[in-house]
Amino acid sequence: MTPSPRSDGELIQPHSASSPAPVPDYEREVSRPNSRERGWNILATPGTYILLAINIAVFGWMVLHGVSAKDPTTDQLVHYGATNAYLILSGQWWRLLTATFVHVGLLHIATNMWCLWNLGLLGEPLLGPAGLVAVYLITGIAGNLLSLFFNVVPPHNYIAVGAGASGAVFGIAGILIVLLSNKKLPIPAFELHRLRRSVIQFAVLNLIIGFAANLTSIVNIDNHAHIGGFLSGMALGVPLVPRMTSGRTRYLERQKLTFAAATFLLFLFAYFITKLK
């Protein structure tokens, strides 16, 4: 029997793209660019647009090669890099990464990319292009690893197929909640509070939607990937906060150390999972 594909689910917009994003003082000029200029200027937020481009390109490549834009099969999703516990534990660990760029239909990718765009415009000025991409990859993999863990422990579900950027999107939301708690950011306190509250509402509301959707037979949402991405994003933000306003060099050094340590911990978690099979 062919299992039904499991997507990361639909997400909703956390805030309007017109909201100005805070810019920490490690930037050369402390300013808040015009929201429309920032939102549509690819050079202003290249990391966000690189991630959008890769996701859209992968989806386009799938459709051009015969994959249904509305209802792809599990075999098609697996062929293009979706997660599957049996295949991952058989050595195809790269699926933890590739699955973050594979989507289950047009609606799935449209909602995920809309949220990635909004969160990216807010998060990239705080993380930098490389930092945003690193957070996407690390938290996306972390979400898929937590999902893998729950597929390995009893009751086993080795045939489940997962795909989508939602774990990484939740990861960006998680780190933003922590970074926006820094009251030293050059932005009015009320604005900082509003932005942080909107991201929290986004995360909570979508987790509720995910759990509620799984009570129906309409869609199967992988909340383990959501939670794994979200918690790992918050964990990444904790060591970064003290260095956000201590100068660009020290902040980037803290980023590199944090991301390297997180990657090492993910390797350890993956090794632990292999001992459970």
Structural domains present in the chain: 15-20+32-274 (1.20.1540.10)
Sorted by sequence, the CB contacts under 8 Å of residue 248 that are 6+ apart come out as 26, 27
DSSP secondary-structure letter at 177? Answer: H
Residue with tokens 């959501």: 226
Q: Give the mean model confidence (pLDDT) for residues 197-223.
A: 80
CB 240 within 8 A of CB 179: yes
Name the band, by pLDDT with cuts 50, 70 and 90, for residue 51.
Answer: very high
Q: Give the mean model confidence (pLDDT) for residues 149-161.
A: 87
Closest by CA to 138, choosing from 235, 250, 1, is: 235
CB 9 within 8 A of CB 147: no
pTM: 0.85
Q: Would you name the residues annotated as active-site residues?
A: 166, 226
The percent of residues in the chain predicted with pLDDT above 90, rounded, is 64
Listed ranges 79-93, 151-165, 189-203; the one with the highest mean pLDDT:
79-93
CA distance 137 to 134: 5
CA distance 18 to 139: 26
Average model confidence (pLDDT) across the chain: 85
Closest by CA to 100, choosing from 36, 108, 211, is: 108
- In the structure, how many helices (H) and strands (E) does the chain have? 11, 3
More confident residue, 64 or 217: 64
pLDDT for 6 beyond 60: no
pLDDT for 79 beyond 60: yes
